[in-house]
């Protein structure tokens, strides 16, 4: 029986990685075989690309190069980790997936959504998550959380505020059109967010 694929999406500082760990623990307590991963990354090759993707100045890469890098990382991630895990009946919980590319490089940086979708279909065998958990909070709050957590900002945290506003609007637009999306209020306490996620996935 094929496993389930759940992606966690949202802007900077939304708490995705924390909730991946919490949901994994909750599922394992119920006997579910879970794989936790992240993007860009998740495999040695994809992690090597991540090091290029998230470091340096905000304008280190063009939007097109960003899209090519993250899609190349995703192709390796899907082929070597996600698809085999799903085929083995495991549940895959991923901190970011293709909807981040659509939000950041599409809505945020102005690349064609159709082009990005076509790239995904070619590179990743058209694999989409079964459920998308969008952890949403105001941009300023998310950036403040991220700065407090990490100290040194990564490339995307140093983008201008209006870029992050476009990213958030992009997630909202996708959520309005895609039944796989569930919006989670990420301004709440981490325990409340965890409970909201569990309620969404109860079915």
For the chain, the domains span 5-200
Q: Measuring CA to CA, how many Å separate 78 from each of 6, 94, 110, 179?
A: 13, 11, 25, 22
Determine the pLDDT at residue 151: 64
Averaged pLDDT for residues 74-85: 98
Q: Is 99:167 a contact under the CB 8 Å cutoff?
A: no
pLDDT over 90 for what percent of the chain?
Answer: 87
**pTM of the predicted model as reported, rounded to 2 decimal places:** 0.94
The predicted-structure confidence for 120-158, as pLDDT tens digits, reads as follows 999 999 999 999 999 999 999 998 888 887 666 778 888
Q: In the predicted model, what is the mean pLDDT of the chain?
A: 95
The predicted-structure confidence for 164-184, as pLDDT tens digits, reads as follows 999 999 999 999 999 999 999
> Helix or strand or coil: residue 171?
helix
- HSE on the CB side for 178, CA within 13 Å? 19
CA angle 16/22/27 to nearest 5° reads 120
Q: Is the pLDDT of residue 2 over 70?
A: yes
Q: Which CATH architecture has domain 5-200?
A: 3-Layer(aba) Sandwich (3.40)
């Amino acid at each position: 029986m094929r496993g389930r694929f759940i992606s966690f999406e949202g802007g900077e500082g939304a708490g995705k990685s924390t909730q991946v760990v919490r949901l994994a623990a909750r599922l394992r307590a119920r006997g579910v075989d879970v794989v936790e991963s992240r993007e860009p990354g998740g495999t040695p090759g994809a992690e090597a690309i991540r090091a290029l993707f998230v470091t340096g100045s905000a304008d280190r890469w063009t939007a097109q190069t960003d899209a090519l890098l993250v899609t190349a990382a995703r192709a390796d991630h899907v082929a070597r980790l996600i698809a085999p895990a799903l085929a083995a009946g495991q549940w895959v919980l991923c901190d970011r997936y293709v909807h981040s590319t659509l939000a950041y490089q599409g809505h945020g940086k102005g690349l064609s959504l159709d082009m990005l979708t076509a790239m995904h279909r070619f590179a990743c065998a058209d694999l989409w998550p079964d459920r998308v958990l969008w952890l949403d909070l105001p941009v300023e709050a998310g950036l403040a959380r991220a700065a407090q957590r990490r100290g040194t900002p990564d490339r995307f945290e140093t983008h201008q505020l209006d870029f992050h506003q476009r990213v958030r609007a992009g997630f909202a637009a996708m959520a309005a059109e895609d039944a796989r999306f569930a919006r989670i209020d990420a301004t709440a306490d981490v325990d409340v967010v965890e409970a909201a996620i569990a309620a969404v996935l109860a079915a």
